[in-house]
Structure 1
């Protein structure tokens, strides 16, 4: 299936490689312990298309910071320019900003109060406007960045070799693609709505405090190192719980997915209580980790408030003493005290962000674990034909899954000429389906070569390979959608007429004509509502529509009754015409379609012979291939 990307999104595995986060530094050591944001920063290349929006968002947050810094000044000016002057007569004994502005409206005390009150409204409205615009720019960018990450993780996951998927739990992998990207999205949203505004507010407030009166400013800022150390301590505590909780949630998701995928088996054996117990165990693990994280997070805010209160108390005492002795105006003390309260809010926001960032970093690492996996079919630079002749060569091919159970087969040599039809038969567990998967490029051989018209199968581009090789699997999987959608799955650009022709040739139309909507009938995931034989015929129609010169059939009639097998074999008869065919089978009806039969025996030999024409010296046409082991 072709994966479509937007214009600003990586459009190929190579493009995805270009934006894959680097897990390690030049020294090869993990960078995780350098910062909780390090994992998120590794995805910085996804933010390049959003630079304009991010810059505008920062500017809007800067405007909000300026408005917030201006908020306490109307009250301070009323105290300094109006209330303190009141004792001098009419309240106009001093010159000041409030006096100057009020002078435009007559200069009375009432005018001064109206100007101050109006300034409060204007400043608040400006802060709200800048906050709205900042959130729109920053959060919009975060959403688009996350969308790109999610799309690339999904696309890259689909391109990973089957050896990777065989080692993974489907639910756990689903959790990484969906849940972990959602966690990253939440973290990026917090960056836009809390981190950037909070950092700007703290920096701006500190600068203005020092500028207003450096003595009071420095006294107030003495608490900053204590706040930093406290936040850093709690961040370290939450990091381990965040990572463990994400992993536990992934296992829980895997259990749920597995249970739902096997729901028929659960009902067949009445094993609901068994699944309940398994779920309860995993769920209790998630709950325990969550409660630990909640306990640590709950301590965050009150501890920071207590640390910040030390600074406020110190400023209040020293500032009040200075005001009594005429070192500075009362309004200055009001402003500094207000700024300290203003600083407390972003400090609390930053403190509450620590769990979010650690969870986001843990999720980012889990996502990066996928993007760090190597892929097959990177593509060779050699020129490739539009359509191969169909010659297949296996040269000393060995496959070992690396599970410690030994190789599935070793040193396999086999040559299939264009147009030959091979029936691969033999003992159960000898590796017939696995050998077919290696030929189809689903697995890279541990050693040896698999060649298609002289081109190395594991090294050619995947999209080209699947134009040359079509597969009909033992159990054809149908996706939710119409029959037309499923037949067109291997060739999305096929016309309706081509789909109808393939459906007719594969005898899909034979049963689709009896359905309410014909080929436009919607089927559920896995082909719910269709029999095994009907699903197999849809799989054959897919292969016919691809029109590949090589077709691989993996037990295409397994599990079918006699009538269904007759229909499938009839469809296969049309599929094999003029193509190179390799079919694993135990059924004589499929073997009869072959021009040569290959016998694969566990731990024995692989023999080939012409079933109808026996040469004088049969040993001359017999190839012996050693195979050992099994699954």
Structure 2
């Protein structure tokens, strides 16, 4: 699409659908804008009357008749000028306000649409694209579209209407001199066509560079403990500085091209004014015009040339907005590949029987992660999935909640293909607890309530008690109203996991997925988390992804995955008869025994 549609048209294409609800406000803004143009056209006339009246009073003899200068005439002309100027200012204020409201509302709707779209994209997109650049498009690029719509779009519209209106009056006053306006406009159009494309290309590279800067900054700040511990500050600063300099170079190039266009336009306007001044003066001498007509013509010329100056001035802004619009359009054109099928239905009563039928899966164009996998998980049983890294364990999780779909085969819940279940209904019946328990900035109560948004405070506290979290929450000065930092960084690992388990308990879903939940926890935190997990998984179909032998051996069933296939399947006792599994258990136990105890509270935890 981007190869056949111009950047500006592509940008307008993503904005136009959101203008539908703003037609009345836009119409009002255009009407007020037309009144402003009318007052702008009338504004020079008092000056013409005063100049002609004064020259007549001084004895000048020129074509046309009219009044001489009297105190009443001069006061009336002064009052008229004040009135026209004041009314033009009032109309400009209301027009600016109307267009600013339209711009803000459209930007808000567009940003909401882009955010919803990004959230609906599958793991395929999010694993291949960096979140910093996505956020830059969502916030920075949409914001730039809004800013340019108000600071450039509205003034240019007003000035273009003014140009047409004043050109008409100038042709009525003197068609010969009015041709100067046509020639000046033609010269500007020629110059702008040469410059605009180059400015847009430079602006596009600038925005891409700014996206790269956002990625580097986000990665560095998101892993600040690792950066500081390994002394990577200088390395990442150099990487940021390199991208920063490249972005600066492209930004300067864009502004240099825009400034050159502005100066060339100034020359065109200056030449046009000089021609009108000389030619108009000669026509006054010949008696074809009055001095007031010449002054009026020059004032009209100055106002009529303003759109050219503004267009040159705003070309850089419009080019940068177009580059931003392209980036937003590219994001919106990303295909949402995980959607409800036309025949998808919500689930009724869920028992929790899971089945993988001849499932093959991969990420993008990479090699298959799962190949012809067949696996049935009984309801109410805890099945541990173990195996070497890269064997496809976490891919099973993504398939179960439809963060991705299989290339071949099907994933079934209670005998129903998950593709035939609405996404909201499927995910409402699954609780997910990850190794890196994700908490959001906000209070502990809010984080638990994300499990079920309509839950009462009593429900939240009950879930926290079952998750062994009520004790440490109550120990905080603000209790459940304690605000946690980004991703829960102010809590220890065990505390974060218990909050995540409380959230899952509140959800009360029949299917529970645990992905390396106890990895990296010290002995005390691990014991508390395991106790909370026993409450969470009781009577529910549970899929436990783990590398820990002790966790695997407590499961009802064990499945060993390797190279995307089921290699071993049975109870823990049955699998101990296989040398491969027995050696793995021995290695895991030995590794656990040799691992030093880690402190119970993470650095920077809430005390």
TM-score clears 0.5: yes
Q: 1:320 to 1:495 in 2, by over 3 A?
A: same
Q: CA RMSD in A?
A: 2.3
Count of residue pairs brought into register by the alignment: 575
Kindly tell me: are residues 225 and 332 of structure 1, through their superposed partners in 2, closer, same or farther at Cα, counting changes over 3 Å?
same
Corresponding residue number in structure 2 for 1:72: 44
Tell me if the contact between 1:57 and 1:138 (Cα under 8 Å) persists in the aligned partners.
yes
Q: Which position in structure 2 is the counterpart of 1:391?
A: 353
The counterpart of 2:464, out of the listed 503, 507, 516, is 503
Matching residue of 2:285? 324
The 1:109–1:210 alpha-carbon spacing in structure 2 relative to 1, beyond 3 Å, is: same
1:230 to 191, 212, 219: 191
| Residue number in structure 1 paired with 2:248 | 287
2:510 matches 1:538: no
Tell me how far 1:332 sits from its aligned partner: 1.8
Match in the other structure for 2:596: none
Is residue 344–residue 420 contact of structure 2 (8 Å, CA) maintained in 1? no
Structure 1 residues 529 and 294: alpha-carbon distance in aligned structure 2, compared to 1, 3 A threshold: same
Provide the C-alpha distance between the structure 2 equivalents of 1:61 and 1:133, rounded to a whole number of angstroms.
8
Pairing 1:326-475 to 2, within 5 Å after superposition: 326-380=287-341, 381-404=343-366, 406-458=367-419, 460-475=421-436
The separation in 2 between residues aligned to 1:157 and 1:423, in whole angstroms, is: 32
- 1:156 maps to what in 2? 117
Cα pair 1:573 1:593 within 8 Å, conserved: no
After TM superposition, the structure 1 stretch with the greater mean CA deviation from structure 2, 115-124 or 226-235, is: 226-235
Matched, 1:260 2:259: no
Q: Deviations over 1:517-552 (max 9, x none)?
A: 222211111212321111111111111111111111
1:31 aligns with 2:31: no
Aligned to 2:24, which of 15, 40, 52?
52
Q: What secondary structure, in the 3-state scheme, does the structure 1 residue paired with 2:350 have?
A: coil
**Aligned residue in 2 for 1:43:** 15
8 A contact 1:508–1:541 mirrored in 2: yes
Alignment of 1:121-140 (within 5 A): 121-140=82-101
Give the direction of change, closer, same or farther, for the CA distance of 1:191–1:50 in structure 2 (3 Å limit).
farther
Task: Give 1:228 shift.
Answer: 1.4
How far residue 55 of structure 1 moved from its aligned partner, in angstroms, is 1.2
Q: 1:575 aligns with which of 524, 536, 547?
A: 536
Q: Shift in Å at residue 403 of structure 1?
A: 4.8
Q: How does 1:516-527 map to 2 (within 5 A)?
A: 516-527=477-488
- Structure 2's unaligned 5+ residue stretches are 579-607
Deviation at 1:180, TM superposition (A): 0.8
- How far is 1:562 from its partner? 2.2
Q: State how far apart, in whole Å, the 2-side matches of 1:195 and 1:229 are.
A: 18
Q: Is the Cα contact below 8 Å between 1:81 and 1:94 reproduced in 2?
A: no
Offset from partner CA, 1:492-511 (integer Å, 9 cap, x none): 11111111111111111132
> Which residue of 2 is the match for residue 313 of structure 1?
274
Instruction: Give the C-alpha shift of residue 461 in structure 1.
Output: 3.1
State TM-score, norm by structure 2: 0.90
Partners of 1:220 and 1:314 within 8 A in 2: no
SS of the equivalent of 1:471 reads strand
Equivalent position of 1:296 in the other structure: 257
Structure 1 residues 151-160 or 262-271, which shifts more? 151-160
Q: Is the 8 A contact 1:194 1:350 kept in 2?
A: no
Determine the C-alpha separation between the residues in 1 that align with 2:69 and 2:191.
50
* 1:222 partner SS: helix
